[in-house]
Amino acid sequence: MDEPRRCFGAMMSGLDIHYDLGEGHPLLGRRVPDLDLVTANGPLRVFTLLHHARPVLLNLDEPGRFDITPWVDRVQLIDAEYVGTWELPVIGPVTAPTAVLIRPDGYVAWVGDLTQSGLADALTTWFGPATGA
C-alpha cells in the first residue's frame, strides 16, 4: 500500500502543506524539493542555499537571464542546472520549471516558465519594494 504510506509520511513530516498562492505550477506554495544542482562553483543541494535564511531565486535557464538588482540585498540569485525529475510528495512528478523563487522557509513563492511574468510582483510581495540601483 504505497499510496497511503506516501500520504501519511508527507503529512507526518509536513511535506503535504500547500499554501494557496494562486493558480499556476504545482510547485507554487509547496516546499521545494531538495535537488542536487550543478552550479559554476560545483555541485550544491537546494537546502544548502537556505541555511542563511535568505530567499533564493533559482535560475535553471541560461545564466544571467534574470536581473534582480533592486532586490539583490535581500535575495540570492543562483544560476544552476538540474537534470532529473522534479517530484513532490503526495503529488508525484511535475513539469520542470525554468526558475523558482524560494522563500527562506523553503516554500515556493513564484515559478517561472519561459517568461518573467509576475516575478517583480512576487519579489515585492514577499521581500519588499524595489530599491534604487
Q: What is the DSSP letter of 14?
A: T
Predicted confidence band of residue 13 (pLDDT cuts 50, 70, 90): low
Cβ distance 60 to 74 under 8 Å?
no
Nearest residue to 41 (alpha-carbon basis) of 80, 5, 70: 80
Predicted confidence band of residue 58 (pLDDT cuts 50, 70, 90): very high
For the chain, the average pLDDT equals 87
Query: Per the structure block, which three cell numbers stand in for 3?
Result: 499510496
Q: What is the DSSP letter of 107?
A: B
Predicted confidence band of residue 91 (pLDDT cuts 50, 70, 90): confident
Q: What is the pTM of this model?
A: 0.86
pLDDT of 42 above 80: yes
Reduced to 3 states, what is the DSSP secondary structure of residue 45?
strand
Return the sign of the alpha-carbon dihedral for residues 78, 58, 122, 128: negative
* Average pLDDT, integer, range 14-27: 78
- pLDDT, residue 36, reads 94
Fold type of domain 2-127: Glutaredoxin (3.40.30)
* Average pLDDT, integer, range 30-43: 92
Predicted confidence band of residue 8 (pLDDT cuts 50, 70, 90): low
* Average pLDDT, integer, range 85-109: 90
